[in-house]
Amino acid sequence: MDSGDLKRLKNLVEKRLDIETAYQISRGLRWQEATASWHSVEGMGETIGMTIQQRRMNQELPMQAISVPNIDGKQAPGLIKIAVIGDVHDQWEAVDGLALQQLGIDLALFVGDFGNESVEIVRAIAALDIPKAVIFGNHDAWYSASHWGKQKCPYDRSKEDRVQQQFDLLGDLHVGYGKRDFPDLNLTVVGARPFSWGGSEWKNPEFYQAHYGIHNFAESTAQIVAAADQAAYNTIIFLGHCGPSGLGDRPDDPCGKDWQPIGGDHGDPDFAAAIDQVRQQGKTIPLVAFGHMHHHLRHTKQSLRTPLLVSPEATVYLNAAAVPRIIQTDQTRQCNFSLVYLLNGTVLQSSLIWVDQNFTVTTEQILYSQPALAIEG
Stretch that binds Zn ion, among 111-119, 174-182, 257-265, 267-275 (CB under 5 A): 111-119
CA dist., res. 282 & res. 249, Å (int): 28
Stretch that binds Zn ion, among 45-53, 133-141, 282-290, 302-310 (CB under 5 A): 133-141
Stretch that binds Zn ion, among 48-56, 60-68, 105-113, 203-211 (CB under 5 A): 105-113
Our CB check for Zn ion shows the closer of 96 and 113 to be 113
Our CB check for Zn ion shows the closer of 185 and 289 to be 289
| DSSP tag of 281 | T
**What residue number has its CB nearest to Zn ion?**
292
Query: Which distant-in-sequence residues (6+ apart) come within 8 Å of 78 by Cβ?
Result: 343, 344
Stretch that binds Zn ion, among 59-67, 151-159, 284-292, 345-353 (CB under 5 A): 284-292
- Least separation in angstroms between residue 111's CB and Zn ion is 8
In the chain, count H helices and then E strands.
Answer: 13, 13
Query: Which distant-in-sequence residues (6+ apart) come within 8 Å of 41 by Cβ?
Result: 10, 13, 14, 49
Our CB check for Zn ion shows the closer of 118 and 138 to be 138
Provide the mask over 288-317, with x wherever binding to Zn ion is found by CB under 5 A and - wherever it is not: ----x-------------------------
Binds Zn ion (CB under 5 A): choice among 86, 137, 149, 264: 137
Our CB check for Zn ion shows the closer of 16 and 162 to be 162
- Least separation in angstroms between residue 203's CB and Zn ion is 12
- Least separation in angstroms between residue 199's CB and Zn ion is 11
Stretch that binds Zn ion, among 2-10, 108-116, 231-239, 364-372 (CB under 5 A): 108-116
Query: Which distant-in-sequence residues (6+ apart) come within 8 Å of 134 by Cβ?
Result: 109, 110, 112, 125, 170, 173, 174, 175
Our CB check for Zn ion shows the closer of 55 and 292 to be 292
- Residue 117 in contact with Zn ion, rule: CB under 5 A: no
- Least separation in angstroms between residue 196's CB and Zn ion is 7
- Which of helix, strand or coil describes residue 257? coil
Beta-bridged to residue 235, according to DSSP, are: 284
Stretch that binds Zn ion, among 102-110, 136-144, 157-165, 357-365 (CB under 5 A): 136-144
- Which of helix, strand or coil describes residue 35? helix
- Least separation in angstroms between residue 240's CB and Zn ion is 11
Pairing outcome for strands 346-355 and 333-343: antiparallel
Pairing outcome for strands 284-290 and 316-319: parallel
CA-based diameter of the chain, in Å?
64
Our CB check for Zn ion shows the closer of 137 and 267 to be 137
- Least separation in angstroms between residue 75's CB and Zn ion is 37
The total of other beta-carbon atoms located within 10 Å of residue 28's CB is: 12
Tell me the torsion sign for CA atoms 135, 289, 251, 200: positive
Provide the mask over 325-354, with x wherever binding to Zn ion is found by CB under 5 A and - wherever it is not: ------------------------------
Binds Zn ion (CB under 5 A): choice among 51, 118, 138, 188: 138
Q: Are 364 and 374 in contact (CB under 8 A)?
A: no
Binds Zn ion (CB under 5 A): choice among 14, 96, 113, 252: 113
CA dist., res. 364 & res. 203, Å (int): 37
Q: What share of the chain is helix, strand, coil (3-state, %, to 5)?
A: 35, 20, 45
- Which spans of this chain sit near Zn ion (rule: CB under 5 A)? 113, 137-138, 292
